[in-house]
Structure 1
């Protein structure tokens, strides 16, 4: 937003030159309300005290050509920290209405246009809203040319064409004054329309729509790589070769006019927007010599033979046809001790896996039926060659070699009928012919003596399975006791290694060594790795999409839709108030709504906007002035400031569209009573709510079709669903044994079905205190600059010979 005279916290030294000039003309007049009177008034405030010497220096300015005592006085006040609100207060004391009017006559740009990348054929709306003392008029420019008929605060390009790409700016006129908005770039991507692609919004979650292509070249050829992503504001790009960032390769198109042998390697592009990062596919660029060569003394090969040979060799490195990860963190247990670390762990792991180009679904606090349905959706994304990763943090146990994940609604004590068996999920993953199956289980592995079932899960013999257990068999896992944002012990060390380009088992070995040096848990928690992996497969392997079926493509599109944020919106009330509403995702099932009043009539003294009547999801904490007050410490540094915030968790329970009411309450200077307006807003089913995970587990559920003895679906003990538990109003039950946490660390994700022992110790490990709750992780906000905008702005300003820029 431009710095204008309506920003009361603005230092007066940063007022616009045109405003200062008008103000000084008023104060330089020799009367009882001139600059001397201002100096006397300021002198009563110790913060900006003006000495006699200062006043004498100001008076001498009248001897200079175009000298201004008022300007010198204002500069002294600004150097001592005087703000616009302070100056207005002094002028009110003086009763200088003319000077006050000078400060209120500027143009205030309330909404700036934002750069955007969009697919050709979509619609683009650039907005510039401003306020002034009189009627405000608008004129849009593309570069230095006026856009015909663009006299509205909204410039709509629908449908946007390739020739519409470029830089746009809006001129705001108010009487004889005018101001310019920020520059906004429109990048139009030429993408062949496909099912689901045309429904992608221009803002919301970052989406890659153009992938670079692998190429086989010879020395002297030109290399041309292109990557495209839709997003608002405009995404930023950084190209990498063999994991190393390339200098001056920050555009979405990367070219080398003359390639040499040293340019051969693996290329991919990092894309960022709103502090969110993702990666393009990694592609192999092969470069061969122009001369023919021989494999043996008698066989000569041409360039085409060499390139074909190179393409075959390029496939020797393992690759995935896709990468999919399901991350579940259970903390808010109804009948068992609450946990802290899973939220931070899931959040950190989500950000890291997205950097490795995984499709990530991150979910918190799921009931049994919700967990089963989430796993079913996860399995639907798997097909031949896909890397599948399942991470679970919460209570758990292990019986007879089988691991069980405990939902938040599990009874006390729980049994296998109430939990999800990890090995049953692995069996179903094997049926998808996945390329790699990784399980990271951040839970306890103590025996559950209430569960007498001996499972017999018949797994296939495949050389692509990796288990990373946070602790050894029949042992507990721990989370550190701290008032800040703290990971569990496993993720504390895993997140420092996860991006390494190493075989997954080698990476986990290094994590195990790191954990082994951690004094607070030494001898009590050790990472255990089980693997049948025979190839050098790593989480950094490139993605080379295979010939997946139409069903797989449909599931991928559904996954994309389930991670779309609602588009930000502007609400216009009849009273003249305008409200901006935006949305941010903390997890796949946690939504942040923020509202801000961007325009109100002058005759309105105060106004506030609140959200009420949220369907199905009426949170206890809403309409707060900071994200932290809603419990959203994770996004507190990335959300827009000066808004009201509401945090909606458990979106998977949303059965209908999310509908709520925006209630506007206002007071007018001419009225004693408060006036109220309302608007109903329907944002559909945001994020994971589109998948209807709240539904009862279906009869043809993937976990119920797993034909094995003692499966959860065939167990004689019925599994109490979330709705039945709520109807029965089961009270909170403590486990029969006491659970005193250690001073430094606590048993994490323990099997607490009425068994097990609590560890005690005298270790003392101090973490730096944090003001944030341990339930919060950190992240995301737009950066509006590009390398090109400054050059375009200079050219544009130089071309405006007719205008006297302030």
Structure 2
């Protein structure tokens, strides 16, 4: 039973928050409670304290009741006295909630498991309890307490025979306690005849987690029950978490996943994260296809009943790979600035990565950089690959030809200053891709300055092209300005449909219907589709390896080499201060650097590490450098669940336009500190070089070779060869078999820029690392968290309820 003598501070935060919600009302709330607790002088609140509680309403998440409860907890108010006061003010709902919460017995959620461990090995037993905060754990072997066992995990090793036996854990809080189940630990002596027998017999106790049964692909009908299973062995015993399309399912923390009566919304990719205290592994992805309901009962004479028709089979179409180039131009030199491309490219990147696309995301490119980026993108394409190109920015269309406008286009620009979409399409087709998707989020008004009618070369007869224009011919595309972030109308609707497992044209048709049903877009902007797609190809189609693994490995290396972040490093200064440098990618050409003081002598009272003197070419706004939060540093896309601890403050600096970096990135770390017995600050400096991070390795500022993309081109992935003496970056080497070592083409025409291979050696840890993830040190809690755009983007279901300011994505001074 619950212990009413425990302090108010022992309640979990979720319980305190719920109590505060119940007390945040004027008739029977926190003020009445404050009067009731004043019967004991130590809990009496002053007028100043009551005013402080009252002022909490001025904060968005402030709660007067929560503030009062915190004061009572600091004064060691017991749960019994709080309950007595709640009864006095006749707050029945709060009394019932507190009673049911406190009276709840402590429960064991994870019991220790019996194990067989080889002699000399390490034993890890785990027990988890729920109930009050501050639970106390005690471990026993038989009736004897294990002196070192005072935490949820009991770790013993190296094991000897006298440690064999039965173990149990006691979980307590005050007078309340509960025991776990017994766990039998058997210590096995290694066989003298076989030197490796014990390790082979107990692989999980030596090598961590091991998945013994993988989830399998399924094709079922609507209304059926979905059942997936993942089994694993490990020491400590494994725990499970299931994911659907890379989003965690709740509750889904058992080896078996069961979803009754599925709908088409349940189709997609399922995987299971298996983990324990020391290890983590992921299962294979299981592709689940949800077909239409039963086609009608049919009579089977051999059975006594009806038999449903067989479930629809998985799609026969697949991609040999998926690559995407996303370009967003905002900060034009001679034209009106745009705001939406940053958020649009960011959100589309996150969605495409969920569909296993290799994504290159770039902001603010001039003509040369756009041309080079497209050329590099085409080198990632090959037979059967799905290619997607998205552009957001200013644009126009003349005589059926569309043009993307770079940021350096002059005031009266023509086609010679822009990128010709139809030319890119023709070059794309020459790569014999399985699917070409163009998404153009730009205006299609006439450009009166341009009277040239370009003539594209003949297109191949390939039924694999899909055009999605954000607006109709001779119309404008709009963005929606709201708060700090903006969204384009097109992406606001597309992001609601992109992950649907439908033929790509069907998915885009639904986007068009959504736009047509919205009041604010009707008559302003309508999606236009052009397609010659004759097969049911979808962006959700699986990737299936080709008969040329060397080409696949080369493509992986091509993409990954341009998304390598510098490793986190530590700088040691003469005064004894240790500074950490960390790096994160916001886009493929935008990087964030943070500094953090990790250690400082006791006689130093203040200490900061700031960045300065950046190498030429990188775009840095000095007013936004060395900021205490990411928003002040110019980044609007990062969202953290909890602020860093005060003692772990960071300073952030955002570097843009990395594609223009011609030399290695260098900067100075300036350490400013003050001793306790000195009034003046002291400075120390260190110069740091981190090579060419992210897309800087591609040298997009350099002109590319004339276009020639025939199958016999020297840049074709199937014809690559690499001398045996060549060295791959650490972590990427394993993706290319030794017998199939592949080059990546010439340094000037491929994603990997090999003249400076030393720049990236040791930085990349895996081939397919997304570019928009943190290095492990970037977040508190010692593990990276997924990035997410702030909730200021335009929600699909609220479009008609908001007032917006429209801005066009086209600007002609002569119009």
* Fold match by TM threshold 0.5: yes
* CA distance in structure 2 between the aligned counterparts of 1:244 and 1:628, rounded to whole angstroms: 27
* CA distance in structure 1 between the aligned counterparts of 2:661 and 2:158, rounded to whole angstroms: 44
* CA distance in structure 1 between the aligned counterparts of 2:284 and 2:365, rounded to whole angstroms: 31
User: Is the Cα–Cα contact under 8 Å of residues 339 and 485 in structure 2 kept in the other structure?
Assistant: no
**Deviation of residue 455 (structure 1)?**
2.0
The counterpart of 1:144, out of the listed 148, 155, 164, is 155
Q: What do the CA deviations read for 1:110-139 (whole angstroms, capped 9, x no partner)?
A: xxxxxxxxxxxxxxxxxxxxxxxxxxxxxx
* CA distance in structure 2 between the aligned counterparts of 1:433 and 1:79, rounded to whole angstroms: 74
Please name the residue that 1:576 is paired with: 576
Change (3 A) 1:542 1:570: same
User: Is the Cα–Cα contact under 8 Å of residues 672 and 684 in structure 2 kept in the other structure?
Assistant: yes
Please name the residue that 1:736 is paired with: none
User: Is the Cα–Cα contact under 8 Å of residues 284 and 314 in structure 1 kept in the other structure?
Assistant: no
* CA distance in structure 2 between the aligned counterparts of 1:242 and 1:661, rounded to whole angstroms: 39
* CA distance in structure 1 between the aligned counterparts of 2:638 and 2:493, rounded to whole angstroms: 23
User: Is the Cα–Cα contact under 8 Å of residues 376 and 702 in structure 1 kept in the other structure?
Assistant: no
Please name the residue that 1:629 is paired with: 632
Q: What do the CA deviations read for 1:295-320 (whole angstroms, capped 9, x no partner)?
A: xxxxxxxxxxxxxxx9xx96752211
Please name the residue that 1:372 is paired with: 371
Q: What do the CA deviations read for 1:241-277 (whole angstroms, capped 9, x no partner)?
A: 99996974678xx999xxxxxxxx986427799xxxx
* CA distance in structure 2 between the aligned counterparts of 1:674 and 1:479, rounded to whole angstroms: 48
Please name the residue that 1:487 is paired with: 487
**Deviation of residue 698 (structure 1)?**
3.4
* CA distance in structure 2 between the aligned counterparts of 1:272 and 1:450, rounded to whole angstroms: 61
Change (3 A) 1:164 1:349: farther
**Deviation of residue 147 (structure 1)?**
8.7
Please name the residue that 1:90 is paired with: none
Please name the residue that 1:333 is paired with: 332
* CA distance in structure 1 between the aligned counterparts of 2:604 and 2:203, rounded to whole angstroms: 40
Change (3 A) 1:237 1:248: closer
* CA distance in structure 2 between the aligned counterparts of 1:279 and 1:685, rounded to whole angstroms: 34
**Deviation of residue 690 (structure 1)?**
2.0
* CA distance in structure 2 between the aligned counterparts of 1:671 and 1:147, rounded to whole angstroms: 52
- DSSP 3-state at the match of 2:427: helix
User: Is the Cα–Cα contact under 8 Å of residues 281 and 544 in structure 1 kept in the other structure?
Assistant: no
Q: Give the alignment of 1:320-469 within 5 angstroms.
A: 320-457=319-456, 458-469=458-469
- DSSP 3-state at the match of 2:485: coil
User: Is the Cα–Cα contact under 8 Å of residues 435 and 464 in structure 1 kept in the other structure?
Assistant: yes
Q: Which is worse superposed, 445-454 or 464-473?
A: 445-454
Q: Give the alignment of 1:534-613 within 5 angstroms.
A: 534-548=534-548, 550-613=550-613
User: Is the Cα–Cα contact under 8 Å of residues 241 and 252 in structure 2 kept in the other structure?
Assistant: no
**Deviation of residue 358 (structure 1)?**
1.0
**Deviation of residue 578 (structure 1)?**
1.9
* CA distance in structure 2 between the aligned counterparts of 1:211 and 1:652, rounded to whole angstroms: 42
Q: What do the CA deviations read for 1:661-681 (whole angstroms, capped 9, x no partner)?
A: 211111111223322122222
Please name the residue that 1:745 is paired with: 805
**Deviation of residue 559 (structure 1)?**
0.9
Please name the residue that 2:242 is paired with: 238
Change (3 A) 1:285 1:330: closer
* CA distance in structure 1 between the aligned counterparts of 2:461 and 2:568, rounded to whole angstroms: 50
* CA distance in structure 1 between the aligned counterparts of 2:635 and 2:357, rounded to whole angstroms: 24
* CA distance in structure 2 between the aligned counterparts of 1:702 and 1:657, rounded to whole angstroms: 31
Change (3 A) 1:240 1:486: closer
User: Is the Cα–Cα contact under 8 Å of residues 289 and 314 in structure 2 kept in the other structure?
Assistant: no
**Deviation of residue 453 (structure 1)?**
2.1
Change (3 A) 1:543 1:46: same
Count residues in correspondence.
Answer: 510
User: Is the Cα–Cα contact under 8 Å of residues 612 and 660 in structure 1 kept in the other structure?
Assistant: yes
Q: Give the alignment of 1:262-341 within 5 angstroms.
A: 268-269=270-271, 317-341=316-340
User: Is the Cα–Cα contact under 8 Å of residues 345 and 488 in structure 1 kept in the other structure?
Assistant: yes
- DSSP 3-state at the match of 1:663: strand
Change (3 A) 1:74 1:638: closer
Q: What do the CA deviations read for 1:27-47 (whole angstroms, capped 9, x no partner)?
A: xxxxxxxxxxxx99x999965
Let me know the Cα RMSD of the aligned residues: 4.9
User: Is the Cα–Cα contact under 8 Å of residues 589 and 687 in structure 1 kept in the other structure?
Assistant: yes
Q: What do the CA deviations read for 1:126-161 (whole angstroms, capped 9, x no partner)?
A: xxxxxxxxxxxxxxx99724699xxxxxxxxxxxx9
**Deviation of residue 283 (structure 1)?**
5.2
TM-score by length of 1: 0.55
Structure 1: 5+ residue runs without aligned partners? 1-10, 15-38, 50-72, 81-140, 149-160, 169-185, 191-209, 217-221, 228-233, 257-264, 287-309, 707-742, 757-806
**Deviation of residue 427 (structure 1)?**
1.1
Q: What do the CA deviations read for 1:193-224 (whole angstroms, capped 9, x no partner)?
A: xxxxxxxxxxxxxxxxx9989799xxxxx998
* CA distance in structure 2 between the aligned counterparts of 1:392 and 1:380, rounded to whole angstroms: 18
The counterpart of 2:701, out of the listed 674, 691, 694, is 694
* CA distance in structure 2 between the aligned counterparts of 1:637 and 1:325, rounded to whole angstroms: 27
Q: Does 1:647 align with 2:646?
A: no
Change (3 A) 1:77 1:448: same
**Deviation of residue 479 (structure 1)?**
1.1
